[in-house]
A and B are shown apart, each in its own frame.
Chain A
Amino acid sequence: DAKTTQPNSMESNEEEPVHLPCNHSTISGTDYIHWYRQLPSQGPEYVIHGLTSNVNNRMASLAIAEDRKSSTLILHRATLRDAAVYYCILNKWANFGNEKLTFGTGTRLTIIP
Chain B
Amino acid sequence: KAGVTQTPRYLIKTRGQQVTLSCSPISGHRSVSWYQQTPGQGLQFLFEYFSETQRNKGNFPGRFSGRQFSNSRSEMNVSTLELGDSALYLCASSLDVQETQYFGPGTRLLVL
Contacts and interface: CB of A to CB of B under 8 A. Distances in A.
10 contacts: A34-B100, A36-B103, A43-B91, A95-B31, A95-B33, A97-B56, A98-B45, A99-B59, A103-B42, A103-B43
Q: Give the interface size bracket for A toward B.
A: 20 to 34
Interface of A: 34, 36, 41-46, 49, 93-105
B106 A42 contact: yes
A97 B103 contact: no
Interface of B: 4, 31, 33, 37, 41-45, 48, 55-59, 90-92, 94, 96-106
- 3 closest A-B pairs (Cβ-Cβ)? A43-B103, A103-B43, A97-B48
A95 B45 contact: no
A94 B99 contact: yes
B106 A97 contact: no
A36 B42 CA distance: 14
A100 B36 CA distance: 13
